[in-house]
Structure 1
Amino acid sequence: MLDISCNDQFPPGFGRQPWLINPINGTAEEKEPACTFINPINGTAEKKEPACTFINPINGTAKERTIPEMKGKKCFGCFGEWVILVDELTRECFFLSLISSSKVHLPPFLQTQALEECAGKFSLTSSPTSPNCIITFVPFEKDFILLSRRHDKEWTKLAITHCISNNKVSPITGENIIYKGRLFILSSGSVALVFDVAALVDGHIMETMSYPFHDYPFSTPKRDNYFVESCEGLYLVRVHLFDEVQHVTHIEVYRLREPSEEKDQNQDEISWDYVSSIDDQAFFLSRMHGVSVCTKEFGVEPNCIYLATPCSDGERLYKYSLVDKTFSFNELLPGDEWNFGENLFWTTVPASGMQDIELGTVPPDVVELNKDIAISDEKPESNQISRPWADLPTELVESLFQRLSLVDCVRVSTVCKTWSLTSQFIPKEIAWPWLMHSPDIDDGKCKFFDPIRGTEHTQKIEALSETNQLVFHASRDGWVIISEGEAIFILNPLTEEMMDLPDLYVDKYNCISFTGMPTTPDCRVFAFYFRADDKKVKIYSWRPGQEKWTKTVPHIDTPFSGTINNPVLFDGEFYLLDRRGQLGVFNPDNMKWRVLSQPEPLYKGQVPHHAHACFSLLEVEGDLVAVISKDDTHANQVFRLDRSKMAWRKVEDLGDFTLFVGLRNSIAVPSPLKSRRNRIYLPKFDRDHTNGVFYSMDDSRYHPEFYGVKEPTTYVWFQRQMSTVRKKGDGCSVNSAEHMEQPSHQD
């Protein structure tokens, strides 16, 4: 049994846990190429000779190791303890063991091409030491694959041009994996090509197609995909992020559905299921690389996905929890201190052949499970009352409202019809927006986070208990537009009243909004679609009683680069802010669209890369206000539209207002408390859900800092209307908030 825990060439604890390695490969002229080990938690690392950096995601240790065998080599992947290397001069290709330094040779690699043009990913059927191991190499955006067995003299090149030329398949991304004798290759068009490996060895290309992804309305310009094999099957993880700044916004997980034993094992039956949990597993991803570990064996938090990726501020380690559907991140190293390029890989050493290694103290921000306050399902026994609640003096009820929290105000107002009329006496300062998010869509529970008081409430909503990929789009007057795939409905989460809308394919709209109360005949819903080339706008409209959407395609004179942030209904028209900072206006009465020549765009020329994530438009006391941030670590910029001169004016102080901004919707309200004025709240909270994250216009800083805070993937800013809290019907004794659990923290 090999014991590497005593080897001083490795950091303490190297072995039975995932490590992030960065092979900073030396060139052929360098005398001492090396390997560096980095700590992804506290960002500690020393920059010395060209080295390979091993990063411990558990306790933050890091160490560099000089590896002579890596001199002049380029690393193309990592499989457990093995890295695959290609010599830059001779094109020698081999596996190298990080533990024993032993080699497994492969045929020379792509001698006729420049090495920098050969970016791609390797896959293999078994351990490199197995004589039956088959290795494949799939280059990025090419029309061929390379295949080799251990003892082959050269690579076999197989053209898959006929697959790429299929009008349903766009160029391959290079992401691939061999699973149960089949090679899965992902195309940039969200199609998985599936090949029989045994047939490929014989020189025959037998392929079929599968479609891993469901329609999901999240219009991010970039999506990274990772195949991950585990003991539970084959998974495909889809990461939504904003290009250039590389900020992660959403993560989806799919699992391959195997053909049933009763049916013929036909490749055409290949399909994928969206899953909301990976149970006792954890996935570790970096670039185009992913591994799965058993959390009990490796001592990491279960049901989580860890992603190392470069961002605008440097290298980040994201953690996405499938338990509460939130993600957070920490900085590995600042961008100006280290450039990782494409060299980060996760490595795991098999448990067999390893001695037990003491993992040491585990930082709470990495492995500690989220601790929610336990809520009892038992309901207190109701006491007999001698007279009806409605007979209480109005003055007493009004006084009661002045002393209750918002949740309790909702409950009290639904005791009976008479009390619902007193909702007008609820103090306005407690009617600020909540962050509505859905941590567990399987049981229909939604959470409402109050960023001002630092409390969180949970409510079970029956209408959401049997849905899968929910997306919260917009909120108005206590109602929320929600989609599940192409199905769309409007829901009042407090009363659970719901209105179904006709289906609308998710690729047909970027943003959506509505006018008026959904229960009134003058309510209209509008969905806007902006083509990627900025030269086409489509507008879909619906009103109660219609069986389908009405499509309008207005004439376009000025390119408009729309975002997913919802339009603002202002002076009877919808105003939209595009990624250049210019205004588009849609009139819902005459169905006319126009782009204003004034004010001038905030950004002239090309669309800035950061504009996807951080453009918000909202109304503040009769004025249009734009909130812009380059990314989530830079200062917010606020501009007010001066309508007298039709020009944007920079704002340094929000006065007595507080803003609540997000990717899809934003709300401005008079400051609920004097101490909360001049702030911009974001859809984030700290680990304990006791503090909302805000940007202070007073000191131009975020409170608290972004690193380590959590952000839900599905959310909307929700502001309830007390006039809508009573359920439909007479409702004298109906409590629409009876499922609303007590806040997890006291103010």
Structure 2
Amino acid sequence: MLDMLTKECFLLSFTSPSKIIPLPPLVDIPRLDLIFNCALSSQTPPDCTVMLAVCRDKSLLYCRPDDTHWSRLPIDNFACDDGDEFDGGIVGYQGKFYATGIHFLLMPHLLHHHLPLRGATLSFRCHVPTPKDSVYRGYLVASCGDIFFVRSYLFGIPDEIVNLEIYHWNPSQDGWNTLHSIGDRTFFLGRNSSVVSSATRAGTEPNCIHILRSVNRKYKKEEKGHDKKIVCSSTEWGQWSNLCLDLVELLVPNISFIDFLHMKAACKQWRSISSRIQDSKVLPLLLTTRPGRRDSLEVFDLMSKKNYSINVSIPGPTSGDDTGASQSQILHFAKNGWVILSRGNHSFFLVNPFKNSPDHVIALPPIRSFDFKGISFFSVPESPDFVVVAIESIRSSTVVTMKTWRIGDEDWKEERFENDIPFFMASHNPVFFEGEFYCLDVSGKLGTFDPDTMEWGVFDELDPVDDQLLSTDYGYSHLMEWKGELVAFFRQCGAEDGSMSFFKLDPTQMVWSELDGLKDGIMFWGRTNVVARSPPPGEDHLCNKMFIPNFSESDGGREHGFYCLEKK
């Protein structure tokens, strides 16, 4: 599979969608209007070679899963005639590749795993020569040890298939034999791929060739008299909505989230497909608001460096205290495609900007306290365990107020807790971890809240962090989950370079252990949120960096701002 935005390539099995084998990025992506096909030397990745043939190209591209880049196998290596070029047809079978050109068939031989490929030119001989003034499209097909070549002749505008020829490769004669039947086989031929099935085992129509074009076509070779029946299938067969939803959903975890949005817009039936943002293989998307555009949110994709605008109808403030503050809009928390934002000082909304349905905006009860420190939620609104949690605290006070809200509640459920020591919430939202919400105060103390039992507690036995590393009243202290552990980081007071200190919680000893950055992860920092992710394949250079909501623009593109933890 090829991601056109990131140029990332990978092998994916639909029977095991969680298993992805990364390939080198394809720097020079073929033109979409050209025919190109891919083939594997074996069906046992990663022990295989991948080869790509592009129409009108004079070389084949190939790589192995552990390579850093794609290599080229020029047509000159095969001693072909001047002017020869590939036509995009290629198949792999029993460790060999077969690639077609305008006047030839090539068989590049695979030598050793770490050695380059070499090729031998095999003659391309057909019993029926191709007229020079004919327009045709060829399909190379491998089936049960046999190699077939299907040639369809085109005529008219828009073109129609007016004739069909089938050839079978005879390796003993280095030539093609004309066929009048494919027997108990069914061919499914597409622009960039082909599938062959046994008609008996698959329950398909035997001796039949399906060619996917702008309108589905079906062609049948008859045994008697070598007759051909050309049938144009109903256009309804080509509707996206006819695809099995279970099959479509297998693609969701393996595409970028922007592509997921495009997929949901393809047809009405696909709008019900759900996806968890964290299951996406790409890095998180940055969601921002723009002043004066209250019905629009902007999405920035770090990998493609592209900016998208999403329209969403967000109502005005629900609190009478917010009169005249309708243009004030702040993002607070995001998870699983849902976002909590506020308008004015007290009005909060739960919004899904990627869901085109009437229930994509949910008004939360107003929060009128000026002691509000953070808000978070668990799961999604459609789930029975969905809950929103908000926290209020006052500096030098021992009182903490926790609020919860669930679908159907008219107001917040509130509990006030008296601590033995002061607890002043730091500048982050509560973090859901192992069934509870964890809160970090400015001195490194850790509190935990169970929304089901409405119980709150502070780990008194947890040793505090060095006072010299703690943030000021208006500095930044954050808590996040990383690989099943809680990690806190603090911006050092008075540090001109903005350097930070990281600590990992040791739950067995109840101590904060200092970390030397996050060398195997990437961090994304927002005003009240920090998340960490593993790098995509081939993007290890992004590790130990913290990306911030800031950009630099040049030549019509955007670069994401970041802080390098190693270089400070």
TM-score between both structures, scaled by the size of structure 1 = 0.39
- Structure 1 position 492, deviation (Å): 0.6
1:395–1:576 distance in 2 versus 1, CA, 3 Å: closer
- Structure 1 position 491, deviation (Å): 0.6
Partners of 2:264 and 2:514 in 1: how far apart?
A: 42
Q: 1:408 aligns with which of 259, 281, 294?
A: 259
8 Å CA contact retained: 2:276, 2:337? no
AA of the residue aligned to 1:585 = T
Counterpart for residue 459 of structure 1: 310
RMSD across aligned positions (CA): 3.4
Is the partner of 1:409 in helix, strand or coil?
Answer: helix
Structure 2 residue 338 is the aligned partner of structure 1 residue 479: yes
Q: 2:355 aligns with which of 484, 491, 495?
A: 495
1:399–1:515 distance in 2 versus 1, CA, 3 Å: closer
Structure 2 residue 472 is the aligned partner of structure 1 residue 610: yes
- Structure 1 position 695, deviation (Å): 2.3
Identity over the aligned pairs, expressed in percent? Answer: 28
Structure 2 residue 544 is the aligned partner of structure 1 residue 678: yes
Counterpart for residue 180 of structure 2: none
Structure 2 residue 529 is the aligned partner of structure 1 residue 665: yes
- Structure 1 position 692, deviation (Å): 1.4
8 Å CA contact retained: 1:445, 1:464? no
Residue by residue over 1:232-269, the C-alpha shift from the partner in whole angstroms, topping out at 9 and shown as x without a partner, is xxxxxxxxxxxxxxxxxxxxxxxxxxxxxxxxxxxxxx
- Structure 1 position 608, deviation (Å): 4.5
Counterpart for residue 433 of structure 2: 570
Partners of 1:541 and 1:402 in 2: how far apart?
A: 31
Matches for 1:666-745 after TM superposition, within 5 Å: 666-672=530-536, 673-688=539-554, 690-697=558-565, 699-701=566-568
8 Å CA contact retained: 1:580, 1:611? no
1:399–1:675 distance in 2 versus 1, CA, 3 Å: farther
Partners of 2:546 and 2:428 in 1: how far apart?
A: 16
- Structure 1 position 412, deviation (Å): 0.8
Which consecutive unaligned segments of at least 5 residues does structure 1 have? Answer: 1-382, 702-747
- Structure 1 position 402, deviation (Å): 9.3
- Structure 1 position 614, deviation (Å): 1.8
1:480–1:632 distance in 2 versus 1, CA, 3 Å: farther
Counterpart for residue 648 of structure 1: 512
Matches for 1:294-333 after TM superposition, within 5 Å: none
Counting strand residues as a fraction of each chain, which structure ranks higher? Answer: 2
Partners of 1:398 and 1:685 in 2: how far apart?
A: 34
8 Å CA contact retained: 1:402, 1:427? no
1:433–1:682 distance in 2 versus 1, CA, 3 Å: same
Matches for 1:145-156 after TM superposition, within 5 Å: none
Single out whichever of 544-553 and 671-680 deviates more from structure 2: 671-680
1:441–1:522 distance in 2 versus 1, CA, 3 Å: farther
Partners of 1:395 and 1:451 in 2: how far apart?
A: 30
Partners of 1:398 and 1:515 in 2: how far apart?
A: 23
Is the partner of 1:690 in helix, strand or coil?
Answer: strand
1:393–1:574 distance in 2 versus 1, CA, 3 Å: closer
Counterpart for residue 594 of structure 1: 457
- Structure 1 position 611, deviation (Å): 5.7
Counterpart for residue 555 of structure 1: 418
Partners of 1:416 and 1:638 in 2: how far apart?
A: 47
Residue by residue over 1:476-499, the C-alpha shift from the partner in whole angstroms, topping out at 9 and shown as x without a partner, is 211111111322110111115111
Counterpart for residue 239 of structure 2: 388
Larger RCO (CA within 8 A; separation ≥ 6): 1
- Structure 1 position 570, deviation (Å): 1.0
Q: 1:626 aligns with which of 463, 481, 488?
A: 488
- Structure 1 position 655, deviation (Å): 4.2
Counterpart for residue 469 of structure 1: 328
Partners of 1:615 and 1:396 in 2: how far apart?
A: 44
1:474–1:400 distance in 2 versus 1, CA, 3 Å: closer
Is the partner of 1:691 in helix, strand or coil?
Answer: strand
1:645–1:609 distance in 2 versus 1, CA, 3 Å: closer
- Structure 1 position 530, deviation (Å): 0.8
1:527–1:653 distance in 2 versus 1, CA, 3 Å: closer
Partners of 1:514 and 1:396 in 2: how far apart?
A: 31
Is the partner of 1:637 in helix, strand or coil?
Answer: strand
8 Å CA contact retained: 2:277, 2:336? no
AA of the residue aligned to 2:328 = Q
1:611–1:679 distance in 2 versus 1, CA, 3 Å: farther
Partners of 1:629 and 1:538 in 2: how far apart?
A: 26
Structure 2 residue 385 is the aligned partner of structure 1 residue 522: yes
AA of the residue aligned to 1:490 = L
1:687–1:516 distance in 2 versus 1, CA, 3 Å: same
Is the partner of 1:612 in helix, strand or coil?
Answer: coil
- Structure 1 position 540, deviation (Å): 1.9
AA of the residue aligned to 1:542 = W
Partners of 1:402 and 1:517 in 2: how far apart?
A: 17
- Structure 1 position 558, deviation (Å): 1.3
8 Å CA contact retained: 2:471, 2:491? no
TM-score between both structures, scaled by the size of structure 2 = 0.50
Single out whichever of 390-399 and 559-568 deviates more from structure 2: 390-399
AA of the residue aligned to 1:696 = C
Single out whichever of 512-521 and 397-406 deviates more from structure 2: 397-406
8 Å CA contact retained: 1:635, 1:700? no
AA of the residue aligned to 1:514 = F
Is the partner of 2:558 in helix, strand or coil?
Answer: coil
Residue by residue over 1:314-369, the C-alpha shift from the partner in whole angstroms, topping out at 9 and shown as x without a partner, is xxxxxxxxxxxxxxxxxxxxxxxxxxxxxxxxxxxxxxxxxxxxxxxxxxxxxxxx
AA of the residue aligned to 2:440 = L
1:444–1:549 distance in 2 versus 1, CA, 3 Å: same
- Structure 1 position 576, deviation (Å): 0.9
- Structure 1 position 414, deviation (Å): 4.1
AA of the residue aligned to 1:650 = E
Which consecutive unaligned segments of at least 5 residues does structure 2 have? Answer: 1-213, 216-234, 318-325
Q: 1:579 aligns with which of 431, 442, 461?
A: 442
